[in-house]
Structure 1
């Protein structure tokens, strides 16, 4: 495995495969503890300032988005960029999130739903997620999702 695909947070001799990327700086990490350690020193990449578009272009884009929104539901592929292609979660795994009773139980909490709605609507999602990672309920939700999406490897399991 290439060095770029290994966790950038684990100690040098113990670097595990990096399965996740920081939403702010795109650094790779392998687990929630590594993410928590990384976020203490994370320096998010700043997007270049977009050039203003003409009013006509904005109207065309808005019209196209409206037509597309009416034609089909919003998909994960709509919001992912090409460099995030390798970070996509398979549809089967996403279905496991939908079927998780533990996750459904957590989502019954109105405070958690409000936190998730705030992140979804935020302009600076990265900063707000870092703030919410101080909330035990939000961390529990994230941990539950990660357990389903990327179950921990069993230490005593014999490879086939």
Structure 2
């Protein structure tokens, strides 16, 4: 995605007010001078429709397509790993954590959790895909 201010470089940032992508501090300052306007949802129903259409409210370069995520439910290998209550408890702990990144980092030290992560990655990003 290119910068919406200078139409140049790849964007690294988004304005917290209006979500326009920009590439640098100079572009942000230029953008702020033209008085950006906050993104306003027409109503809650419209926001829910956005979520229903693609399953996500916000998409990033690393967002896994919903179709691939749905494949996780059909994986025999993943089902086998999830039979282990220790793995399920680790997943719940990560989900409930105030610092999920740290909780995930800690979980990745456990071989059984690494096995779980590997099974997920085999499905959402097979080795022959970039």
| Band of TM-score, shorter chain | 0.5 to 0.7
| Deviation of 1:76 (Å) | 5.7
Q: Which residue of 104, 107, 111 maps to 1:132?
A: 107
How far did residue 86 of structure 1 move? 2.1
Task: Look up the match of 2:123.
Answer: 148
CA RMSD in angstroms, aligned pairs only: 2.7
1:23-61 alpha-carbon deviations (Å, 9 max, x no partner): xxxxxxxxxxxxxxxxxxxxxxxxxxxxxxxxxxxxxxx
Question: If the length of structure 2 is used for normalisation, what is the TM-score?
Answer: 0.54
Gaps of 5+ in 2: 1-9, 11-43
User: 1:97 matched to which residue of 2?
Assistant: 72
In the alignment, the residues of structure 2 paired with residue 106 and residue 120 of structure 1 have an alpha-carbon distance, to the nearest angstrom, of: 18
Q: Which residue of 1 aligns with 2:85?
A: 110
2:5 maps to which residue? none
TM-score of the superposed pair, with normalisation by structure 1: 0.44
Larger Rg over CA atoms: 2
Q: 1:96 Cα deviation (Å)?
A: 1.2
Q: CA deviation at 1:134?
A: 0.5
Runs of at least 5 residues in structure 1 that lack an aligned partner in the other structure: 5-63, 155-160
Could you tell me whether the CA contact under 8 Å between 2:94 and 2:104 is conserved in 1?
Answer: yes
Q: Distance in 1 between matches of 2:98 and 2:76?
A: 31
